[in-house]
Amino acid sequence: MAKAVQTQLELKTQCEQVQQSLKGLYDWEQEIKQKEAQNRHQQQQQEVEGEHAPPVRSRVDEMLKFVADQNAKEKTELTPPSASSTAAEFKEAERFNAIGNTFHKRAKNAAEEFSFHKENNDQNAIEMYTKAIEINDRDPTYFLNRAHCLFNLERYEECIADCASAIALDSECANAYYRRMQAYEYLGNNEQAYSDCSKILKISMDRNQIARTKQDMERIEKRLKKEADIIKEQGNKHWSAKEYEKGRQCFSKAISLYGNDPIYYYNRSLCNFYLKDYDACAKDCDRAIELDKDYFRPYYQRMRVRELRADYLGAINDCQTYLKLVKNEKQRLTAEKDLERLQLTLKNEQQPKAYNWNELRKNASLVSFVNKAPHLRSKKPLKRIAISEASSAADSKENASNYVIASNYEAIPDAVIDKIFNNNTGERVVEPKPEPSNLESLFPASSNKLKQYFSPPVTPSSPPKETFRKEAGDPPQDNKSQETKASVSRVENTANERKEDVVSHAKKGKDLINKGTVSFAPLFSFVKASAGIFMAAVLDLVRL
């Protein structure tokens, strides 16, 4: 119910607007009639008083009457004057337009032998239309009438400009499009002429004009086809010379002139194929097949594109269609071999099996992650690991310096990696022990004591504890323990005495080795001193 009421209100509003417009037009007509009556009365008074001579006999009054009678019929073609134009100015513009129409009719009715009079009448009509346009430039009829006279005088560029002005004022003016189409055709611009013909067929309601426009389109199409064929031959020459980019440009120009020939699209698809623009090649083949389904060449070209895209089923269908249409035996044999190859490729092609990551296989084990507390996690920084890409032999020779060889770096034990990632790998790998030194391999039982003897002194963080201090209440110690302590102290004293000599000899030996000149005497003294210390320490330890 609400929608019906709203619709009625809209209709009522529109009716009121139409009534107001009609009322405005009626008032304007009455005003013009009143001014005409006043002018006529003034002229009669002037004739009676004898101030002016009687007017020369002319057809101006008849033309004004004709214009007034045709106003009702031409309301849809005429636009209202601008706000600055008054009724008197509009009437003056109509008068010049009527005079121009008179001259134009005289030029139209003039015989061929009186061409001078014909051109003179058209020129006079152009002057009248120009004056009308100067007074009122909102009426497309004035521009259209002047364009017709300019066309008769073979001033085609000016005619096209006036037609464009008329179209700007009234985009549905079919006569303006038709006049401009004729001017374009005479200038040799068949492409623009064909475009205007297409526009006329969309907007025109006159059957005679539509039939005439279709005939003009057929004539223009033949001219466009000739131009496109010339450009196509140029493209074929570029394609034969393997200038595929220039050939594609020529075929594109031919298609823009005449886009209903499948050969143009097929030739451009060949250029796109060799330029490796496979998407454009496939589109051109589709368009060529759409225009002519019996044209066999685009099927074979599209088969090649689909084969490159691994669409073997579509390529097989195109090849089979090509075999049905082709008649040349040599081409048929080639296509049959291609069909066998495609069928074999499709048969041997194995689809990749989808991997089920949720399936628990025999060689797989369930990993339970270990979460460590923050205070138990490693505080050491991560170690940078070099990663290199596998490359071909030729690439490795050319850019060998750009790659980092990972084998130059030492392998990281699994236990260390496990520490780095806070034992999140799920495996508890025992950290490998360091390799034993020479002393540990010779004397594994006493290696810790030997390390203490020959290691550099360490600054203690806390004062050393008195080992042999005896306090009240301590249990009595036996003689054996006292002897052991005395032997240990003696070994320590001996090691301290020889320590400086060992260090000095070691420095000298290192310098000589670096220089490359090693003498026997210093090296022998170094070995002798070291052996003496080792033997003394070993004997004392054995006694213990």
Over residues 431-481, the pLDDT tens digits come to 666 665 554 554 454 455 555 555 555 554 445 444 444 444 444 445 555
pLDDT recorded at residue 267 = 93
More confident residue, 45 or 282: 282
For position 486, what pLDDT does the model report? 67
pLDDT bracket for residue 378 (50, 70, 90)? confident
Question: Which is more confidently placed, 250 or 484?
Answer: 250
489 Cβ contact list (under 8 Å, min separation 6): none
DSSP-assigned letter for residue 50: T
Q: What's the one-letter identity of residue 421? A: F
* Four-point Cα dihedral 350, 354, 355, 356, nearest 10: -140
For the residues 16-26, what does the mean pLDDT come to?
Answer: 73
Are the C-beta atoms of residues 496 and 524 closer than 8 Å to each other? no
Give the residue-averaged pLDDT of 98-102.
Answer: 80
2.40.50.1070, 3.10.20.30, 3.40.1180.10, 1.25.40.10: CATH of 228-348: 1.25.40.10
Which pLDDT value is given to residue 254? 92
Q: At 190, is the pLDDT very low, low, confident or very high (cuts 50, 70, 90)?
A: confident
CA-wise closest residue to 242 among 199, 265, 273: 273
- Is residue 280 within 8 A of residue 267, CB to CB? The reply is no
Asked if pLDDT for residue 270 goes beyond 90, the answer is: yes
- Residues with Cβ within 8 Å of 386's Cβ and at least 6 positions away in sequence, in order, are 404, 405, 406, 408, 409
Comparison of pLDDT for 112 and 508, the residue scoring more: 508
Residue 356 has pLDDT above 90, yes or no: no
Average pLDDT for the chain? 73
Least confident of 105-114, 150-159, 228-237, 319-328: 105-114
d(CA 312, CA 94): 74
* Site of tokens 């030739």: 267
Report the alpha-carbon distance of residue 147 to residue 124 in Å, rounded. 13
Domain 67-205: which CATH number of 1.20.58.220, 1.25.40.10, 2.40.30.30, 3.30.70.100: 1.25.40.10
pTM exceeding the 0.75 threshold for the entire prediction: no
The rounded distance, in Å, linking the Cα atoms of 70 and 47 is: 30
**DSSP characters over 274-316:** HTT-HHHHHHHHHHHHHH-TT--HHHHHHHHHHHHTT-HHHHH
- Tell me: the pLDDT tens digits for 110-133? 645 455 556 778 888 888 888 888
Q: How many Å apart are CA 344 and CA 95, to the nearest integer?
A: 86
CA-angle at 454, arms to 450 and 458, nearest 5°: 110
Q: What is the DSSP letter of 472?
A: T
Pairwise CA distance, residues 271 & 247, whole Å: 7
Residue 471 to residue 436: CA distance in whole angstroms: 41
pLDDT (average), residues 382-405:
58
Of 313, 332, 314, the closest CA to residue 323 belongs to 332
Is 336:323 a contact under the CB 8 Å cutoff? Answer: yes
Q: Is the pLDDT of residue 173 over 70?
A: yes
Provide the pLDDT for residue 400. Answer: 47
Q: In the structure, what pLDDT confidence band is assigned to residue 231 with cuts at 50, 70 and 90?
A: very high
pLDDT tens per residue across span 414-444? 666 666 665 554 555 566 666 655 545 544 5
pLDDT band at 205 (very low <50, low <70, confident <90, very high): confident
pLDDT score recorded for residue 257: 87
In a 13 Å sphere around the CA of 381, the CA atoms on its Cβ side amount to: 3
* Average of per-residue pLDDT across 75-91: 56
pLDDT digits (tens, 9 = 90+) for 30-55: 778 777 777 776 776 665 454 444 44
| Range of lowest pLDDT (222-226, 399-403, 486-490) | 399-403
CA–CA gap between residue 212 and residue 191 (Å, rounded): 18
Tell me how far apart the alpha carbons of residues 133 and 353 are, in angstroms, rounded to a whole number: 80
CB 199 within 8 A of CB 176: no
Sign (positive or negative) of CA dihedral 470, 473, 478, 481: negative
**Residue 364: strand, helix, or coil:** coil
